[in-house]
Amino acid sequence: MPSGTLQIRAISGHSGSVPGAGAHREEEVCKYVDVTTCIGCKACEVACVEWNDMPFGKTTFDNTYQTMPSTAWNYWNLIKFNEHPRDDGSLMWTMRKDQCMHCEDPGCLRACPAEGAIVQYANGIVDFNQENCIGCQYCVTGCPFDIPKFNSATKKVYKCTLCSDRVGQGLEPACVKACPTGCLKFGTKPDMLALAEKRAGQLREHSGFANAGVYDPASVNGTHVIYVLHDAKNPEMYGGLPASPRIPTTFTMWKSLAKPVGLLLALLAAPVAFFHYIAEGPKEPQPPSRGDQP
Amino acid sequence: MTTAVERFDDEARRRVAAHGRTIVHDGELLRHPVYTRLLHWAVAIFFLLAFLSGFALYTPWLYHALTPIFGGGPTTRLLHPWFSLGFVIAFALQILNWATPMLWTPADSRWLKRIKTYVSNEELLEPADVGFFNGGQKLYFWTIVASALVFVISGLPMWFPRTFGRGAVAISYVLHDVAALLMLVGFIVHIYESTAQQPGTFQAMTRGTVSKRWAWTHHPAWYRDATGRNPREDYERAAARESDRR
């Protein structure tokens, strides 16, 4: 998103007010994924691999419409295929685009101990800087969506960048650009949420999906990728989308509070020892020798 | 302990002793033979390396200060488990070497009950039942044994996160920290007690000897066993000589 600092404040020789004065630019971006209109064509998968210039790996055929079991360090975007039994015994096919959710409260960033390896931009994109990554994989543990993937050759972790390089230039992510059905859209968070709510309402009222809704989980303060689901009450049916994604307390309470406090308490032993010496002095061998050894 | 392990320990002690020596001057006693000293410093060096590289990743405040020592963040992360492995191996040998003298005895329980007077330096001489190691030293030793075990058990999932999975790593992360903090406190106390707090102690781990005065002051029961003499009488004789000299 272009920076607001180049917004015009005053114009020479111009009568009246400055055009656009006081206009507010919404900075937070969002990818909208309408699971109900995805046809599973995988154009987004190919576009992702191409734009990010990733070496193409082998796919796995397991008699489904899914390219491989899960995303990989060089495959950041995967259409998860699932067969969901309906009440009448027939099967419903679901295609959910699985990629980094760009959480507002990112568990990967909380878990990371390496300075600058993970950043969150003002527009909400969570990005990995591999040159600062130390390969500890704590982000893998911190992520509630199992997204960061380790490359054992480079000892670095990789994931979807929401095409931060494209978005920075005012373009949409590669996956959105490639989508032929319009089930992927990109814009500001409020716009995408409004669109998603509208679509979910349509599904409830006209398509018979009484539980249709928007997936924007509050347990991570919302995400910058949102889904429209036929059944928002049961996100698990879309290839294990967690109903309430949680960052382990290891990386919240423990890391941000108990760890530094614990270290300070432990280090207290040093001044205690020092002042013990000052107050009590050393324990000399007795009797204190004033001449030769005994 | 099985006899095979005992034989291994005896053999190691004998072989290392053949390659080194401890010079015991007049008025001194042999405290730690070559093998014990070698293990102690191997443990100490690996401990320091693992400790510094571990605390580099412990908190962002230390990351900046400590990772450059090891050539940056990635190498710090790469080396830490290997330093730790060195520590664990050296310390396992030290456990074998010290298992017998570190066994807890009723005298140690009595020592622990009077730890207050020990800390406040109230008594000049330790009670007659304090042996080769006192209760505090044994407590420190077994604390390190326990934290080393926790370190290994919690370290493996963090070393191989994909084998053990998210849940194991999340728990291990906390256990590893707790063990590190426990060891940090023990380490600070250990260094203080063995240097500034008790003059004449440090040479036990460098040259391997201590003065007889040191021995009857801090470990009278060991003095009695090592020399066959009464520590209290020897102390009083030395004290009388000191006052004559003045």
Beta carbons of B184 and A138 less than 8 Å apart: no
Strand partners, A186: A31
pLDDT of residue A6: 78
User: For A224-245, what is the mean pLDDT?
Assistant: 96
| Least confident among A95-99, A288-292, B29-33 | A288-292
**Half-sphere exposure in the Cβ direction for B87 (13 Å, CA):** 26
CB contact A116 to B (< 8 Å): no
Neighbours of A105 (CB within 10 A): 16
Domain ranges of chain A: 32-246
pLDDT band at residue A1 using 50, 70 and 90 as cut-offs: very low
Residue length, chain B? 246
Give the mutation candidate from B66, B169, B190 for the A interface (greatest A CB count, under 10 A): B169
What is the DSSP secondary-structure string of A252-284? THIIIIIHHHHHHHHHTHHHHHHHHHHHH----
Strand partners, B29: B210
Q: Are A142 and A112 in contact (CB under 8 A)?
A: yes
Cut 0.80: pTM above it: yes
pLDDT of residue B243: 86
* Pairing of β A29-34 and β A225-229: parallel
| In chain A, residues 86-115 whose CB comes closer than 8 Å to chain B | 113-115
Q: Are A197 and A66 in contact (CB under 8 A)?
A: no
Q: Are A91 and A85 in contact (CB under 8 A)?
A: yes
pLDDT tens-digit series, residues A62-113:
899 999 999 999 999 999 999 999 889 999 999 999 999 999 999 999 999 9
Q: Cα-flanking dihedrals φ and ψ of residue A57, to 5°?
A: -95, 175
pLDDT of residue A4: 63
Q: State the virtual CA torsion across A230, A235, A241, A245 in degrees, nearest 10.
A: 130
Name the average pLDDT for chain B.
Answer: 95
pLDDT tens-digit series, residues B40-98:
999 999 999 999 999 999 999 999 999 999 999 999 999 999 999 999 999 999 999 99
pLDDT band at residue A18 using 50, 70 and 90 as cut-offs: confident
Give the chain B residue nearest A137 (alpha carbons).
B161
pLDDT band at residue A220 using 50, 70 and 90 as cut-offs: very high
Instruction: Examine the pLDDT at A21 and tell me if it is beyond 70.
Output: yes
Instruction: Please name the amino acid found at residue A36.
Output: T
pLDDT tens-digit series, residues A30-70:
999 999 999 999 999 999 999 999 998 889 998 999 999 99
Strand partners, A149: A158
Residue with tokens 């191996």: B89
CA distances from A270 to A267, B54, B186 (A): 6, 19, 11
The answer regarding whether domain A32-246 maps to CATH 3.30.70.330 reads: no
Q: How far is A258 from chain B (nearest CA, A)?
A: 10
pLDDT tens-digit series, residues B124-151:
999 999 999 999 999 999 999 999 999 9
Q: Are B166 and A140 in contact (CB under 8 A)?
A: yes
Q: Are A133 and A156 in contact (CB under 8 A)?
A: yes
Interior/surface letters A141-157, b for 16+ CB within 10 angstroms, e for the rest: bbbbbebbbbeeeebbb
pLDDT of residue A92: 93
Q: What is the largest CA-CA distance in chain A?
A: 104
Strand partners, A31: A186, A225
Q: Cα-flanking dihedrals φ and ψ of residue A9, to 5°?
A: -105, -40
Beta carbons of A273 and B213 less than 8 Å apart: no
Give the 3-state secondary structure of residue B172.
helix
pLDDT tens-digit series, residues A123-167:
999 999 999 999 999 999 999 999 999 999 999 999 999 999 999
Instruction: Examine the pLDDT at A253 and tell me if it is beyond 70.
Output: yes
Closest CB to A293: pick one of B27, B120, B192.
Answer: B27
B-chain residues within 8 Å CB-CB of A137? 161-162, 169
Q: Are A74 and A158 in contact (CB under 8 A)?
A: yes
Neighbours of A107 (CB within 10 A): 27
Q: What is the ipTM of this complex?
A: 0.90
